[in-house]
A and B are shown apart, each in its own frame.
Chain A
Amino acid sequence: MDLVESLRNKLTLVDGLRIAALLACVAPLAGSVIIAVLGWWQERFVKSVALIAVILSFLGGCGVLGFYSPMAETKRIYANRPMESVILAREELMILGRDQDTVRIEALWGLDGISAVLVWLTSLLTLSSVLISMRSIRERIQEYYMLLLLLAGGAMLVFLAFDVIFLYIFFELTLVPMFFLIGIWGGPERRYAARKFLIYTLAGSLIGLVALVAYVVQVRELRQAARLDVTVSRGKLERPSDRITALPDLAETAARLSRSSEQDSELREKWERLQKWTFWGLFLAFAIKVPLVPWHTWLPLAHVEAPTAGSVFLAGVLLKLGTYGFLRLVFPLLPDIVTGWGGSLLAVLAVLGIVYGSLCAAAQKDIKRLVAYSSIAHMGFCMLGMASLNTIGLAGSVLEMINHGLYTGGLFMLVGAIYERYHTRSMLDLGGLAKRLPVWAFFMVGMSLASIALPGLNGFVSETLCLAGMFYKSITLSVLGAFGIVLGAWYMMTMLRQVVFGPVRVPVRYQEEDAIQDLDMYEWMALALPMALCLALGLYPKALLDIIHPDLEGMANLYQMLRRGG
């Protein structure tokens, strides 16, 4: 007992958080390596190793939330400093420059409320993806699980990276496993879809990299020119860090530059020009990833061709990388642009995405395609909330990332289940499935209602918050965006009426009553957790809101200050 007691005294919350975060991201990566090594001679272990890895990872993800939530409250004290995070680890990579004038390139791993909830979401969806793949993936299973786990680990590391280089690296790295997942285990058009996905996102992110590197270098010069190098803060001389790639430092420098350039017109001009160019580079990178209309054309194709788990992961996590990129890089690093025309541009594009995505979804006969287009609309809500730049909208936006992951992930799993059973996804071939597959129908209705934003389910909370946030900025855009909910109800309900209810209509081969089994154990488990969370977060969203709120408040305060100053 003494040992436990002394350990409890020694281990702080931060240590717990470190261990949990490490478990969450290392478990899938380690699982991937074990599968790569072991699988050559013992293929039957592959599934169990993958399952154990993702369960551990999910425990780690829950641990991250659990250990972080008591800390969230104390962070309110620092709410005025942008991107205050819990540092998990740092590693020095290179020292550049000469003599006294050196800078450090450092890998910085941290965690704040936003990354905590996203890590948790990723670990949850990884668990579901592995469960849903247990039956459906039958060939090359070793490579499959290797890539899936690699993808999960890489995505989590994006959320934990607090320096631009590693954030970018892991952002980019997630492309590779996804490319193979679509290209090897996808549908008939898989190769074209995989290539289009890769080229689109790679082109975007390479431009983003150029913008980012140029920004990092130029900001340093501007900082020197503006003599922000030595500042007095909280009564003592503070030398700025030489870590040019650390995100918190960059965000703070950007805020200071914006504030101090108000008096200095020459500096102002330079700083605004830099922000403008960087904005276009980063905008392109993340607009393709989110995707914002008109850069969305890769998405329906990739979703339709990807295997079920690939779709789940693509919608649930990879699209979030785009919105996360906006929230983490574009918004803090380019404050003047986003409070100015950049924010308006994003808001307009978001509304365009909502309306266009919904209309496209309404026109689809293929259910998977319908869900894919509805994703575009939902990501539009997410961007709309973010572009409002106030705490309400930002909170709605982050919550929408989580919620969209839960119900769209669920919908893709359900569509995948149907395709496996009836080998069709067309609404014309299917009908009245509630009579044949009651459990499936229950989940389908539940997930669809969450996606429609029915009050009491999670979609309602986040989309209302997004619209409410935008209401403070532009009533017109907010009203236009609200049409998305109406349209969403229309296309989802039409789909439900056709497929789930009404007279039974299935392909001829499966006419007999018990030709097809309802959801099996694995699918049931994969779906139950997201469904339960859809309900729980609809009834008690405060659980997550409390965690993300302090960080968003800090961001919103900064923008308010800048807008007032300007």
Chain B
Amino acid sequence: MDGIYRTIIDSWKLILPELTLLSASAAMFVGSLLRVPRTVWPLVSLGAITCGMLLWVGEHGWLAKDEFIPSASLFITDPWRWLGRGIVYATGSLLVLSAWQQVSAAYAGEYFACLTSLVAGAGLVVAANDLVSLFLGLEIVSLSTYVVLYISRRDLSGLEATIKYFLLSIFSSAIFLFGVSLLYLAVGRTNYLQIRLQLQDLGNNPLVLVSGLFVIGGLGFRLAAVPFHFYAPEVFAGTHPIGAALLAVMPKVVGFLAIYQVLTEIYAAAVATVALNIQVSSLLLLTISVLAGASMLLGNLGALQQDNIYRLLAYSSIAHTGYMLVGLAAGAKGQLVAGEQALVFYLGAYVLMSVGVFVGLLCVRQGEKLAEYIDELSGLARSRPMLALCLAVGLLSLTGLPPTLGFWGKVLLFLAAWNAPEGQPTLRYLAVFLAVNAAIGAWYYLRVIGVMYLRQPVRSYDRAVDIPAWLACGIGTVATLVLFFVPGLWWGTVARAFSGTVGP
């Protein structure tokens, strides 16, 4: 009993970085009543994330204490979670940088407070060891996202986008919660470890499979996986680019880490049909394979027809969800490359390249008017060469062409799916399908690059300097390029985290 008591008492230490972020966020909400320069808020936000990261780096010490009892704790830290939270904080700081000068002074306090709490929520999701804490984290993320979306663009189309996202997100939360409650009905526990133990004894229970489908569906909304993708193009096009950038990366990071967590730590233990020895998890993985194929295909086909750059990127983000789902479907047993490692590798790459592209687009502006249509980017290579170069690198990486990190990401996903264990021939088809889709994708990404480089400029754009956004864009672009030449840096980190060692 003493161990359980100590675990419960000490579990706040596990989420120290998130607590720091949340208290900073609360302080910013209160402080936003004060009249202070706009720059203060992103600085505070970035400072809080930096503090959180320092605590996170120092977190090795609290790992694997003898008296720690996982079945009693709401949160847990293990190596892959540690890495996942690192990705969350890094993404958060890039988002803060990109929004630095984009939010009007009147709302800057609230905006950055919400962004900070969003990062905290995402961290909680990754650290969760209990369905309750998982849902708590997910809701913190959702609530912050609504506000962030609305503040960043406060006209009719922004409002429409926010409302759409709000309604669908509530709906997805409800679906997720329904799945969770079905699971609770079956096992009567919320802690992952306890659920796992119960499921092993439970045997054949259809509720578990159904709950798994609902949970995947609910999280699929966040990923914008087909058939839960309808909101994405509307919302991306309707909201401010910083909102679109946030939606492109944060829900994916959160959603993928949450799905991975739920699949491996809960459903992996469940057996669907004892007689046939079919695992619930393999049925769920099959579902995920189907979602992956559909997302890749519909995302790419949808993007082919777009003239609005944000709608195009929305469809491209749907397609990328599909690529990453392939990694998830490939599972952990791949001989050369484990699916989840390929997924996390790609997730990191995706964050870098998306930030590069979205923040780059943010800088293509004339006063308050941002470029919306692909044609408006005509001749950008001549009017703003460096910007066009950053966009081109990001788009090439999304295509999966060398010399960018996206190339290695796609190669690893392909290897993971191709080399998955015997008995899953669907995955080989999925691997080939991924390659075919990458080729389809090349068409529309290259079209944008072609417009920027081959046409004459039609409009002139401000040369205004938004240093923080440039910094974010630069970090994304340079990292995308440099990591192509030393992929071992990122791959080594990912591989170590999943083989159970913490640290870079």
Contact = CB atoms under 8 A, between A and B. Distances in A.
Contacts of A194: 450, 454
A97 B432 CA distance: 21
B450 to A, nearest CB: 7
Contacts of B79: none
Given A206-B435, A210-B435, A217 B419 contact: yes
Contacts of B402: 169-170, 172-173
Given A198-B446, A213-B411, A217-B336, A206 B439 contact: yes
A213 B454 contact: no
A214 B418 contact: yes
A140 to B, nearest CB: 8
A223 interface: no
Given A101-B335, A195-B450, A213-B415, A202 B439 contact: yes
A180 B403 contact: no
A275 B336 CA distance: 21
A229 to B, nearest CB: 15
Contact of A184 (B414, B442, B454, B492): B454
Contacts of A169: 402-403, 407
Nearest to B337: A96
A380 interface: no
A173 B450 CA distance: 16
A94 B418 CA distance: 18
Nearest to A180: B453
Given A213-B414, A214-B418, A98 B439 contact: no
B443 interface: yes
Nearest to A103: B336
B82 interface: no
Nearest to A195: B450
B491 interface: yes
A438 B438 CA distance: 53
A183 interface: yes
Contacts of B419: 217
A203 interface: yes
Nearest to A99: B499
A97 B416 CA distance: 10
B442 A202 contact: yes
B495 interface: yes
Given A101-B335, A103-B336, A173-B402, A94 B488 contact: yes
Contacts of B269: none
A140 B453 CA distance: 11
A95 B336 CA distance: 9
B404 to A, nearest CB: 10
B415 A94 contact: no
B432 A96 contact: no
A92 interface: yes
Contacts of B337: 96-97
A98 B401 contact: no
A209 B438 CA distance: 12
B336 A199 contact: no
Nearest to B332: A98
Interface in B203-235: none
Contacts of B302: none
Interface string A62-99: 00000000000000000000000000000011111110
Interface string B484-504: 001110011001000100000
Interface string A504-548: 000000000000000000000000000000000000000000000
Nearest to B400: A206
Contacts of B454: 180, 183-184, 191, 194
Contacts of B385: 40
B79 to A, nearest CB: 14
Contacts of B408: 94
B324 interface: no
Classify chain B's interface size.
Answer: 35 or more
B432 A210 contact: yes
B338 interface: yes
Contact of B499 (A98, A180, A207): A98
B264 to A, nearest CB: 16
Interface centre among B381, B408, B454 (most CB of A within 10 A): B454
Given A172-B402, A173-B403, A214-B418, A92 B488 contact: yes
Contact of B418 (A165, A176, A213): A213
A203 to B, nearest CB: 6
Interface string A342-381: 0000000000000000000000000000000000000000
B403 A94 contact: no
Interface in B409-459: 411, 414-415, 418-419, 432, 435, 438-439, 442-443, 446, 450, 453-454
A40 B384 CA distance: 11
Contacts of A173: 401-403
Contact of A94 (B414, B439, B487): B487
Contacts of B491: 94-95
B488 A96 contact: no
A176 B445 CA distance: 13
B415 A183 contact: no
Contacts of B486: 93
B414 A210 contact: yes
Interface in B72-95: none
Nearest to A182: B454
Contacts of A191: 450, 454
Interface in A166-218: 169-170, 172-173, 176, 180, 183-184, 191, 194-195, 198-199, 202-203, 206-207, 209-210, 213-214, 217
Contacts of A206: 435, 438-439, 442
Interface of B: 335-338, 381-382, 385, 396, 401-403, 407-408, 411, 414-415, 418-419, 432, 435, 438-439, 442-443, 446, 450, 453-454, 486-488, 491-492, 495, 499
Closest 5 CB pairs of A and B: A169-B402, A210-B435, A183-B454, A96-B336, A206-B439
Given A93-B487, A172-B402, A176-B401, 11 more contacts: A94-B408, A95-B488, A98-B338, A165-B411, A169-B403, A180-B453, A180-B454, A184-B454, A203-B439, A213-B418, A217-B415
24 contacts: A40-B385, A94-B487, A94-B488, A94-B491, A94-B492, A95-B495, A96-B337, A97-B335, A97-B337, A98-B499, A103-B336, A143-B381, A169-B403, A169-B407, A172-B401, A172-B402, A173-B401, A191-B454, A206-B438, A210-B414, A210-B432, A213-B411, A213-B415, A217-B415
